[in-house]
Structure formats: C-alpha cells, structure tokens
Structure 1
Amino acid sequence: MNLLPILLFAALLVYLLSLAILSSKWKWRRAKNERIQGGVDYPVTLLVPFRNEKKNLPGLLRNLAGLSYPNLQIILIDDHSEDGGGDQVEAWILAENKHNFKLISGQGQGKKAAIEQGVVMANANIILTTDADCTLSADWVQNMLRAFDDPSVQMVAGPVMTKGGDGTFDHFQQIDWASILLMTNFFFSIKKPVMCSAANMGYRKEAFYHIKGYQGNHGNPSGDDSYLLEKIYQRFGHQAIRYLASSNVLVKTHPVGSISGFLEQRSRWASKWNKHQFWQNAGGAVLSAFLSLASICSILLLLTGPIGVAMFAVYWFLKLLFEYFVLRKVLNTYEIPLSVGNLFLASVLHPIYVILVAFRSFLVKSRWKGRK
C-alpha cells in the first residue's frame, strides 16, 4: 500500500497539468453585438438527416424557418424513419409553402448514406450540417460562413452544448460537454484536430467530393463527423480546418433523458476510439480511462490510517479546485452557471461513468434509433 499514494499523486499531477494545458488554449469567446460582414452572398445548403425524430420535428422546422440567412437551401433527409416523421415534414413544407425546404428519402442505410445523398442534391458549394434534435440561433449560418471568406478553409466546426434544465442529470451533461469542448478546442489550437460534431459543422462541396466522402468508413455506423474531419485534414492540412468556439455559433441540443440512454450514446462514441487514423484519439481515450481509474482507487487511501485520510482529502480538494476554475471558464463562455454542488457531484461520478462507458463500448453492441 506504500506505493499507492505515490501512484495516485503522480496520476493527479498528470491530470492537473493536463487541465492547465487544455485551459491555456481556451479564450473568452462570447458573442458580440457586431455587424455581420462577409459570407452573406454565398449560396448555402443546410443538411439535416433524421430518423425517428417525430417528437423533435415540429420544433426543428420552426427553428429552421427562423434562420435569417437569405440564400439558404434546407434539405431534410429521412433516414428510413419508422414513426411517420417523413410524412410530418412533407405536410409541413406544403402547408407553410416553404420553397427553400426540400425533403428527400434516404436510399442507403445510415446517416453517412443520408448525408452523401444530401450532398448530391445540394445546389450550393457551401454545405452546413446539423441534427434534428438541435436548435440554431437566427444568425448561425452567417457566423459559420465567416471562416469560408478564406478560400483555403475547407471545413468549419463549432461547439455543441445541451440545453439547460433544473435536474442534476441535466447539469452533469453540461459539465461533461464542457470537458469535450475543452479538449476539442485544444487539439484544434495545436493543429491536431481529433473530434468535432456533425450537429455543428460545415464544408465545401468540392472538398467532400475530393476526399470521396465517407468512402472507406461505411463499415463504421457512427463517426460521420470525426472521420470526415480526419480525411479533410489529411488531404488539405490543418490550415484548411477552423474551429469556432464563440457563443454566436453555439448549437444547443436536447439532453439525453435517461442514464441508460446517456451511457448508450457515450458508449457508441467511445467504440470508435481505436478506429481513427490519429494516435491522439486512442491516446486520449486510454489516458482518460487511466486517470478515472486512479480517482476511483483513491478511496483505498482511507484504509491506510490518518495520513491516508489526509492525502485523500488533498487529492480531491486539488482535483475539484482545478476542475471548477477550468470548466467554469468554458461554461461562462456560453453563459451557463456552474455551482460548486453540481461540480462536486459530477467530479465524483465522472470517473465511474468513464469506466462504465469504456467497458460498455467493448462488451455491448451499441444501438442508434433502433439499429445496431
């Protein structure tokens, strides 16, 4: 047991140093009341694939109708919905007489096939994507397009955050998303991007065709965003990809309603850890699992007497202190408050959640919208 405190505090030191490094690359990016310039003349196509999203479609359609960009084509791709969602969208388009909206039925299986079909149908060279359970600000399109004023930029990604709620589980998900955004921003800032979200993404149609879309990745049912990021990075280099962390491009999504659904979603994401081209993906996953295991094992310090109890208290005090200041920095960017109580609960539960997701990603077949 004498070796345990040394190993735990070595792991703590690595964790705190990692948080400090990740935080150093995060800058305050709150939206400013400024005139939007550049990009407003580009024809743009927004792709929204959906499957079994009937409960979210009314809100989605109202939100998309409220986008203020004048030269926008919106294509909704029905990925073989089994809940009548496609009929609902078609009826709404006819009733509202929305000429810039188009509904198509997916010909292939899966989200990647749906997006590829949408790209073919797009009448614009600039393509943006989002998901059916998301909410966009009225000027989201204009703000995403600014980066494309640089002709060398082929792809743009932005932040995603769950909508606020009063429940502890809702706050836990926002804190978890803050850690994801922190890591995403860091790797973009060092020109080694490893992840992004198709809920808030855009690219040039020519670039999509140049890398042959998802060719080579159709065997993996998820990962339409990160695999595309890797291919564009490999073909065009880091200077062709931008990450916009400002609050004026934030996309909000619904929090997962249940713990089992949340673990299912995160396990699906985690199952891709060893399928990427870049070592950073696997390295980050392994390091996260190791540090989470160290936090769980820190409870063994309580069995080593008064000194062990004191070391346990120091371990968790430093962990909570660093997490509070680092994650609050991210959440403040999007005007999301962080209470000490919510952070404490998230900090205690997060290591357990990481290990559960890691085991689940290996042992349990993931499902998405009724598909394995």
Structure 2
Amino acid sequence: MPFFLLIFFLLLIGYAVLIGYYHNAWNKLPVYTPPEDAPTASVTVIIPARNEETNLPVLIDSLRQQEYPTGLFEVIIIDDHSTDDTFRLLDEASKSWSSLKVIRMADLPADENASTAFKKKAIQAGISQASGQLIVTSDADCVFDKKWLHTIASYYQHTDAKFIAAPVVIEGKDNLLNIFQSLDFLTLQGITGASVFKRAHSMCNGANLAYEKSAFEEVNGFEKIDHLPSGDDMFLMHKIFTRYPEKVFYCKSKTAIVRTAPVDSWKAFFQQRIRWASKADSYDDKRIFWALLLVYLANLGFLILFIMGFWKPLAFFFCIILLLAKMLIEFPFVNSVAIFFGQQRRMKYFLVLQPLHILYTIIAGWLGKFGHYEWKGRKVSKR
C-alpha cells in the first residue's frame, strides 16, 4: 500500500496543479460586453434536429426573437431522419418565417459515412446551403438570449476570430439528476473557457459554436474526421486551431450563454457522457488526452483505495482524507464558474455528490473507450 499511496499522492498533486491552472485562467478570462451598435456580419445558424418535435416550438420562438438586423441572418434546421413530427413542424414553420430554411437528410444522396457520422453530415448539408459569412451552430433543445447572435457576431468582428467557443449551461428542476448534470457541466465549461483562453488545448461544445464559413472550407470541413460518430465540435476546432492558432477564442459573455435542457434519465445521462468520452483516443490534440488521462487516473485511485480498505482498514482513512483534499481543490474553481452562470445555489450539493461523480467518471471513461452508446435511437460501438 505505501507504494500505491505514493503514486496516488503524486497524481493528486498533478491534478491540483491542473485544476489550479484552469481556475486561474478562468478568472483571468475577460468578460465581454457587446456594444450597442449592430454588427454587420451575415450569420447562418445551423441546427441539426432528430426527433425533436417537443422542443421545436420553443427553439423556433427563441430564434425568431433574436435582436439581429433583418436580412443579415438566416436559420437552417436539418431534419436528421426523424421518425416523429419534426419535419412536418419545420415545414410549417418555414412557411410562416422566410428566414428559416429546412433540409431533410432523407431527401439527400446517401454518403459512405452516413451510417456513423450523422451529425457531421447534417451540419455539412447545412453549411453547403449557408449564405452567411459566420456559421453559428447549436442544438434543437436549446434556448437563447435575445442578444445571443448580436453578442457572437460583435465578438467575431471585435476579435477577427476564425473560431469561437461560447458558454452553455444546463437548466432544469432541482432534482438529483439535474443538479448532478448541472455541476458536472459547469466544471466542463470552466475547463473549456480556461483552456481556450490559454490555448492549452482544444475544447468546446457544439451547442454554442461559431466559425467562419471560409475557415471551415479552408480546412476542408470534416474531411478525415467524417468517419467518426462524434466530435463535430472539438475535432473541427482543432483543425481550425492548427491553421489559425491565434484566432480561436472563448466568448465569455452572459448574453452569449445558451441554455439547454438536462437529459431526463440516468441511462440517457450515461449514454451522453459515454458518447463524449468516446472521442478521447481520437484527438489529434494530444494535450487534452494527457489532461483527461490524469483526471481519469486520479479518480480511479479513489476507487482502488476504497476497495483496498476491505483488506487494510487504514486505506479507508486515507481515502476520506484525500477525498476531502480533492474537494478543497475543486470547489473554488467550480464555484467561480457557477457564479458566472448564476448557478451558485447548486454548489451546496457539490460536496455530497463527489463520490457519485468519481464513480461516474470511471464508468463513463471506461465505456467510452471499450463499450458502446445509444444516442437519438442509434447504437454506436467503439469496437
């Protein structure tokens, strides 16, 4: 046990340094306040949708309320082989709103990677018909501040960015599942903002992204990553970062925040997180791989130490002490992110949910590497 404790202690030191780095970077990342002057950039919002009939009315209403110059933005929603009333609702909405275009993937020629890279193919189809110089992507279960596009576009013009990652928050009722998702997602958002600001590694979320159409075309879009079932966001980000390392930004602005709904079951939550974890060994950006590996091993150490306690009771003592140390390392960072997103009321649950978070990290990471997941009624295997 002494040798294991030494290794585990060194891992926790490395983890503490990593979290401290993210915390410092997040706090130094300036908050952007958009000017009142209307942006002049033309924007195309692209949203893939599969079986989203319950979310579409709220989504479309939120998009129609955008305070952006008429004629400078359009919305393209792509029906990704839905089996519900998604296409019918979209078709009806497009007849009453001229800025909305609808693409039906079932009407397009099949692609050799269409059976795996579903979302990438939908986004690619949208971009092929986009007229805007700035592509903004989101998901069908999201809602937006009225100044969302105004903020993103003005930030684009302010920075001359080629790629912009922007904030996303999970909102829902205060039950255990929703609180757990929200806290986990706040951590990911903090790491995203910090890593993009410091250009430490490529990280973003497809629910709130923007990039120049010309930059997308210059890196040949999803070429060479179009066989992968996930990663329409981070893989593309790294391709553009490789070409324009000084032109990738995180827009830390309250009016840029996209609000998304939590998944409604623990099974769906794990499937979502396994899907995210499945990308880890495909990253060209190996900097994030090593960060993820450190996080995984640090969490795995707690499980090993806990199991060892059944043979060596002293291990339980060390497990508790080191768990408290881990919480003290993480809490200030996550709390600072929660304050920005207005989610600090949920931080009171942070400590008690730590054991569950450790277990979930281990399971999702393992199955992301060796298992399979289901998403939107589709089953994808890693093997």
* TM more than 0.5: yes
**Secondary structure of the structure 2 residue equivalent to 1:19:** helix
**Aligned residue identity for 1:52:** N
Q: Superposition RMSD on alpha carbons, in Å?
A: 2.2
Report the secondary structure of 2:280's partner residue: coil
Q: Deviations over 1:261-311 (max 9, x none)?
A: 111111111111111111123212221210111122332358645x65554
| Stretch of structure 1 that moved more, 200-209 or 107-116 | 107-116
Q: 4+ runs of 1 displaced by more than 6 Å?
A: 28-32
Deviations along 1:78-109, one digit per CA (max 9) or x if unpaired, are 11111120111111332xx2111111212253
1:153 aligns with 2:161: yes
What does residue 249 of structure 2 align with? 242
Aligned partner of 2:284: which letter? Q
Report the secondary structure of 1:242's partner residue.
strand
2:287 to 277, 280, 300: 280
Q: In the alignment, what sits opposite 2:21?
A: 21
**1:222-237 alignment to 2 at 5 Å?**
222-236=230-244
Using the alignment, how far apart are the partners of 1:130 and 1:16 within structure 2?
A: 33
Which of 101, 122, 132 matches 1:124? Answer: 132
Deviations 1:217-237 (A, max 9, x none): 11102111111101111122x
1:341: how far off?
4.7
Matched AA of 1:214 = F
Q: How many angstroms apart in 2 are the aligned matches of 1:316 and 1:285? A: 19
Query: Would the aligned equivalents of 2:80 and 2:122 in 1 still touch at CA under 8 Å?
Result: yes
Give the AA of the match of 1:75.
I
Q: 1:339–1:67: structure 2 CA closer, same or farther, 3 Å change rule?
A: closer
Q: Normalization by structure 2: what TM-score? A: 0.89
CA distance in 2, matches of 1:57, 1:219: 28
Q: 2:332 aligns with which of 309, 325, 331?
A: 325
Q: Is the 8 A contact 1:158 1:250 kept in 2?
A: yes
Q: 1:147, 1:242 within 8 Å by CA — same for their partners in 2? A: no
- CA drift at 1:73: 0.7
CA contact (8 A) 1:161 1:251 kept: yes
Contact kept, 8 Å, 2:46 with 2:136, in 1: the verdict is yes
What is the CA–CA distance in structure 1 between the aligned matches of 2:241 and 2:158, rounded to whole Å? 16
d(CA) in 2 for partners of 1:19, 1:58: 40
Query: Structure 2: 5+ residue runs without aligned partners?
Result: none
The within-5 A match list for 1:249-288 is: 249-288=256-295
**Residue type at the aligned position of 1:83:** D
Cα drift, residue 350 of structure 1: 1.2
Residues 1:10 and 2:2 aligned together = no
Aligned partner of residue 345 in structure 1, secondary structure? coil
Q: Taking structure 1 as reference, are residues 340 and 26 closer, same or farther at Cα in structure 2, changes over 3 Å only? A: closer
| Residue number among 180, 185, 190 corresponding to 2:193 in the alignment | 185
Structure 2: which amino acid aligns with 1:290?
L
Amino acid at match of 2:42: P
CA distance in 2, matches of 1:174, 1:30: 23
Letter in 2 for 1:322: I
**What code does the residue aligned with 2:359 have?**
I
Deviates more, 1:140-149 or 1:13-22: 13-22
Q: Take 2:235 and 2:257, find their aligned partners in 1: how far apart are those partners?
A: 22
Q: Aligned to 1:139, which of 128, 140, 147?
A: 147
Shift, 1:150, TM fit? 4.6
Query: For residues 204 and 339 of structure 1, do their structure 2 counterparts lie closer, same or farther at Cα, with a shift above 3 Å needed?
Result: closer
Q: In structure 2, the residue corresponding to 1:219 is in which secondary structure?
A: coil
Determine if contact 2:15/2:294 at 8 Å carries over to the other structure: no
TM-score (norm 1): 0.92
Q: Is 1:100 the counterpart of 2:99 in the alignment? A: yes
- How many residue pairs end up in the alignment? 367
Pick which of 174-183 and 356-365 moved more: 356-365
Q: Distance in 2 between matches of 1:301 and 1:16?
A: 24
Structure 1 residue 340 displacement after superposition: 5.7
2:212 to 199, 204, 211: 204
The secondary structure found in structure 1 opposite 2:169 is strand
**Whole-angstrom distance in 1 between the partners of 2:353 and 2:344:** 14
Distance 2:159 2:129 in 1: 23
Q: Confirm whether residue 51 of structure 1 aligns to residue 50 of structure 2.
A: yes
